[in-house]
Amino acid sequence: MKKAFLRLNNGEVFEGRSIGSEGLSIGEVVFNTGMAGYQEVLTDPSYYGQIVCMTYPLIGNYGINTDDGESARPWGKGFIVRELCDAPSNWRVAETVDTFLKRHRVVGIEGIDTRHLTRTLRDSGVMNGVIYTEGFEPEEDKIKREIEDYRIEGAVEAVTCGASERYPVDNPKCRVALLDFGIKRNIVRSLNKFGCDVTVFPAHTKAADILRGGFDGIQLTNGPGDPADNVGIVATVRELIKSGVPVFGICLGHQIVALASGAKTGKLKYGHRGGNQPVKDLKKDRTYITSQNHGYAVIPESVDQSEVEISHINLNDNTVEGLRFLKKPVFTVQFHPEGCPGPQDTQGLFLEFVGLMEKTKRGER
Say how far apart CA 295 and CA 293 lie, in whole Å: 7
Say how far apart CA 153 and CA 314 lie, in whole Å: 27
Helix (H) or strand (E) holding 133: strand 127-133
Helix (H) or strand (E) holding 110: strand 107-110
- Count of C-beta atoms within a 10 Å radius of residue 289: 16
- If one compares 343 and 337, the residue with the highest pLDDT of the two is 337
Q: Give the pLDDT score at 21.
A: 97
Q: State whether residue 347 is helix, strand or coil.
A: coil
pLDDT of 294 higher than 80 = yes
Q: At what angle do helices 185-193 and 348-361 cross, to 10 degrees?
A: 60
Average pLDDT score over residue span 333-359 = 90
Average pLDDT score over residue span 327-350 = 89
Taking every pair of C-alpha atoms in the chain, what is the biggest distance, in angstroms? 66
CB 210 within 8 A of CB 237: no
Average pLDDT taken over every residue of the chain: 96
Candidates 28, 174, 338, 340; catalytic one: 338
Among the listed residues 83, 84, 38, the one whose alpha carbon sits nearest the alpha carbon of residue 293 = 38
CB 343 within 8 A of CB 288: yes
- Please report, as a single letter, which amino acid is at residue 37: G
| Predicted confidence band of residue 365 (pLDDT cuts 50, 70, 90) | low
**pLDDT single digits (tens) 111-139:** 999 999 999 999 999 999 999 999 999 99
For the chain, percent of residues with pLDDT exceeding 90 = 95
Say how far apart CA 191 and CA 229 lie, in whole Å: 28
Q: Which has the minimum average pLDDT: 157-161, 217-221, 272-276?
A: 272-276
358 part of the active site: no
Alpha-carbon torsion 210, 213, 219, 221, what sign? negative
pLDDT of 303 higher than 80 = yes
Average pLDDT score over residue span 237-254 = 98
Candidates 251, 254, 272, 321; catalytic one: 251
Count of helix runs (H) and strand runs (E) in the chain: 10, 19
Question: Judging by beta carbons within 10 Å of its beta carbon (0-12, 13-18, 19+), is residue 139 exposed, middle or buried?
Answer: exposed
CB 312 within 8 A of CB 281: yes
- Helix, strand, coil percent values for the chain (each to nearest 5): 25, 35, 40
Q: Give the pLDDT score at 339.
A: 75
| Predicted confidence band of residue 356 (pLDDT cuts 50, 70, 90) | very high
Say how far apart CA 176 and CA 187 lie, in whole Å: 12
Helix (H) or strand (E) holding 307: none
| Predicted confidence band of residue 1 (pLDDT cuts 50, 70, 90) | confident
pLDDT of 342 higher than 80 = no
**pLDDT single digits (tens) 34-58:** 999 999 999 999 999 999 999 999 9
pLDDT of 203 higher than 80 = yes
Q: Which has the minimum average pLDDT: 79-88, 168-177, 187-196, 332-341?
A: 332-341
Q: Which has the minimum average pLDDT: 139-143, 266-270, 307-311?
A: 139-143
pLDDT of 363 higher than 90 = no
Average pLDDT score over residue span 279-283 = 97
Helix (H) or strand (E) holding 27: strand 24-32
Query: What is the rounded end-to-end Cα distance, in angstroms, of the chain?
Result: 63
Q: State whether residue 332 is helix, strand or coil.
A: strand
338 part of the active site: yes
Pairing state between β 174-180 and 196-202: parallel
Q: State whether residue 213 is helix, strand or coil.
A: coil
- Please report, as a single letter, which amino acid is at residue 294: H
- Please report, as a single letter, which amino acid is at residue 180: D
Q: Give the pLDDT score at 5.
A: 98
pTM reported for the whole predicted model: 0.96
Question: Judging by beta carbons within 10 Å of its beta carbon (0-12, 13-18, 19+), is residue 142 exposed, middle or buried?
Answer: exposed
Q: Give the pLDDT score at 151.
A: 97
Alpha-carbon torsion 188, 191, 197, 200, what sign? negative
104 part of the active site: no
